[in-house]
């Protein structure tokens, strides 16, 4: 995270749940170890968040046939935000917004 006015911010806009879901949406075959590193959380926390997301209907998980040691994830189509303030909005919109790197978005804005 970047610093504002030389101070490190103590909060962020996205929760760990949002970051984990975003990491999985970017790479459905990602290892939880890599999700944890990307999101700045422990692997155990990543596992617990994936379990939460599965229980909430946001993710499904299946073992890949070609490599029984790795999971393949799918983000549920039509999954909605849970909080009443965002009611009626699909998670997919946020994932699409954040799916590309900032550099990619800037390149697209110049076109």
* Predicted pLDDT at 19: 96
Positions of E strands within the chain: 59-63, 71-75
Counted domains in the chain: 1
The CA-based angle 51-77-46, given to 5 degrees, is 25
Up-side HSE of residue 65: CA atoms within 13 Å toward CB? 0
The CA-based angle 88-60-13, given to 5 degrees, is 50
Q: Give domain status of residue 49, yes or no.
A: yes
Name the pTM for this structure.
0.78
Q: Give domain status of residue 7, yes or no.
A: no
Q: Give domain status of residue 50, yes or no.
A: yes
Q: Give domain status of residue 4, yes or no.
A: no
Question: pLDDT digit string (tens) for 85-106?
Answer: 998 999 999 999 998 755 444 4
CATH of the domain at 49: 1.10.10.10
Whole-angstrom CA distances from 98 to 21, 42, 47, 67, 101 are: 11, 22, 22, 29, 7
Q: Give domain status of residue 8, yes or no.
A: no
Which residues span the domain enclosing 44? 16-106
């Amino acid at each position: 995270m970047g610093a504002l006015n030389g101070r490190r911010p103590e909060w962020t806009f996205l929760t760990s749940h949002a970051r984990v879901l975003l990491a999985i949406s970017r790479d459905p075959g990602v290892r939880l170890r890599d999700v944890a590193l990307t999101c700045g959380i422990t692997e155990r926390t990543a596992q617990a968040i994936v379990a939460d997301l599965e229980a909430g209907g946001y993710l499904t998980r299946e073992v890949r046939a070609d490599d029984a040691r790795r999971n393949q994830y799918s983000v549920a189509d039509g999954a909605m935000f849970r909080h009443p303030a965002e009611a009626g909005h699909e998670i997919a919109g946020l994932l699409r917004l954040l799916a590309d790197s900032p550099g990619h978005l800037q390149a697209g804005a110049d076109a």
